[in-house]
């Protein structure tokens, strides 16, 4: 805690408290690191599972019994369970809420559309209502961030800005559009400090392996060390605006530090084809070209990306090459199956 000493008594400044859904995901882990570096106490909501899924935040986890150092705490809750959301808001009393949780895989959303809509769209509504009712009953001000997606623009021609019409092309994208407008509605109807961050594709070495960029870099590493021979390619001409997730979470935080709640596109303003990333798989309804216009975020938030496309790709390839080398050692020693691809 920060303190001031004027020669008499020290005055401690209370830590800000943040509540993060989706804390075990790529964005959640980078955001938690950022918030901890700024002196926050961070509480993450995680779903109950028989399998641990905390590998992205294990490096910053401290046993809660070490109360003076454990500034990140995890709690069981679910966006499908409104009562758990309200309960933790009342217990934690956060200053800021970041809703990053989602079924975020576009292709998978075609296979489980009902679940995707329940978690991504209605889940956001449940959390917004929990925040609203908590603020009414407690008299506290809570700032809310909703994670949007460039997939909401879908078939709309680039460049896409905050005023570009949405044209979602998947159940995931349609659900994100609903969550976006729920957030706008709660801001306008109830005066809630609620922001939408419309984030274009952002990647990192922590990206899930079922996303195309990570599939490519994992395959490159495995091919180089001899664990894989081929990588099947799909639509190489699809174009995306790719940035570094570590940069984008700073934009999330900056949105909640403004005097007025608003919505922002976060993007590099550069577009690259999937051919530059070597692989692509078709979806039932494909999105051809996404390129963001982040001029508002640059002007109002003072935000701009630090990691460019080439540096991002190198970062991911280098990390996955090291993973492939460790995997090769285990395969050669007979401790694991190569599970070699065609």
Task: Write 210-217 long-range contacts (CB < 8 A, 24+).
Answer: 210/105, 210/108, 211/105, 212/274, 212/277, 212/279, 212/280, 212/281, 213/242, 213/277, 213/316, 214/316, 214/320, 215/279, 216/277, 216/278, 216/279, 217/313, 217/316, 217/317, 217/319, 217/320
Task: Tell me the per-residue pLDDT of 127-185, one tens digit each, with 9 for 90 and over.
Answer: 999 999 999 999 999 999 999 999 999 989 989 999 999 999 999 999 999 999 999 99
- From 33, 41, 151, 250, the catalytic residue: 151
> Is the model's pLDDT at 190 over the cut of 80?
yes
Question: 260 vs 105, 162, 284, 300, CA distance in Å?
Answer: 31, 16, 39, 11
How much is the pLDDT for 132? 98
> Is the model's pLDDT at 114 over the cut of 90?
yes
- How far is 175 from 183, CA to CA, in rounded Å? 12
Active site annotation includes 269: no
- pTM attached to this predicted model: 0.83
- From 29, 149, 170, 175, the catalytic residue: 149
What DSSP assignment string belongs to 37-54? HTT-EEEEEE---SS---
Active site annotation includes 61: no
Mean pLDDT computed over every residue of the chain: 88
Query: Which of 8-17, 41-50, 79-88 reaches the highest mean pLDDT?
Result: 79-88
Question: In the structure, what pLDDT confidence band is assigned to residue 59 with cuts at 50, 70 and 90?
Answer: confident
258/241: higher pLDDT = 258
Task: Tell me the per-residue pLDDT of 226-251, one tens digit each, with 9 for 90 and over.
Answer: 888 887 766 777 777 889 999 999 99
Identify the weakest region by mean pLDDT among 107-111, 155-159, 241-245, 333-337: 333-337
How much is the pLDDT for 37? 97
- From 40, 98, 145, 172, the catalytic residue: 172
Question: In the structure, what pLDDT confidence band is assigned to residue 279 with cuts at 50, 70 and 90?
Answer: very low
Span 276-280, average pLDDT: 64
| Chain centre to alpha carbon of residue 144 | 15
How much is the pLDDT for 329? 83
């Amino acid at each position: 805690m920060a303190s001031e000493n004027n020669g008499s008594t020290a005055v401690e400044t209370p830590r800000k408290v943040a509540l993060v859904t989706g804390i075990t995901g790529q964005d959640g882990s980078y955001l938690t690191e950022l918030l901890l570096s700024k002196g926050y106490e961070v509480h993450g909501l995680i779903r109950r599972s028989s399998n641990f899924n905390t590998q992205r935040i294990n490096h910053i986890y401290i046993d809660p019994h070490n109360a003076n150092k454990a500034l990140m705490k995890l709690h069981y809750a679910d966006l499908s369970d409104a009562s758990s959301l309200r309960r933790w808001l009342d217990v934690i009393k956060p200053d800021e809420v970041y809703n990053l949780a989602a079924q975020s895989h576009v292709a998978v959303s075609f296979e489980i559309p009902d679940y995707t809509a329940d978690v991504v769209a209605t889940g956001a509504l449940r959390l917004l209502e929990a925040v609203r009712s908590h603020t009414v009953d407690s008299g506290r001000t809570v700032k809310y961030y909703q994670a949007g997606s460039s997939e909401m623009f879908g078939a709309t021609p680039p460049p896409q800005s905050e005023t570009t019409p949405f044209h979602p092309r998947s159940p995931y994208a349609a659900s994100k559009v609903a969550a976006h407008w729920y957030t706008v509605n709660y801001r306008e109807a109830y005066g809630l400090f609620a922001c939408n961050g419309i984030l274009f594709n952002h990647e990192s070495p922590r990206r899930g392996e079922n996303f195309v960029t990570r599939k490519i870099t994992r395959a490159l590493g495995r091919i180089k060390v001899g664990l894989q021979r081929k990588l099947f390619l799909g639509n190489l001409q699809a174009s995306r605006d790719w940035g570094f997730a570590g940069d984008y979470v700073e934009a999330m935080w900056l949105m909640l530090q403004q005097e007025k709640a608003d919505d922002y596109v976060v993007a590099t303003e550069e577009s690259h084809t999937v051919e530059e990333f070597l692989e692509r798989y078709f979806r039932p309804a494909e999105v051809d070209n996404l390129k963001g216009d982040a001029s508002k975020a640059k002007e109002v938030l003072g935000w701009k990306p630090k990691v460019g496309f080439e540096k991002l790709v190198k970062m991911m390839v280098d990390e996955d090459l090291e993973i492939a080398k460790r995997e090769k050692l285990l395969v050669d020693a007979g401790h694991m199956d190569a599970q070699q691809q065609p």
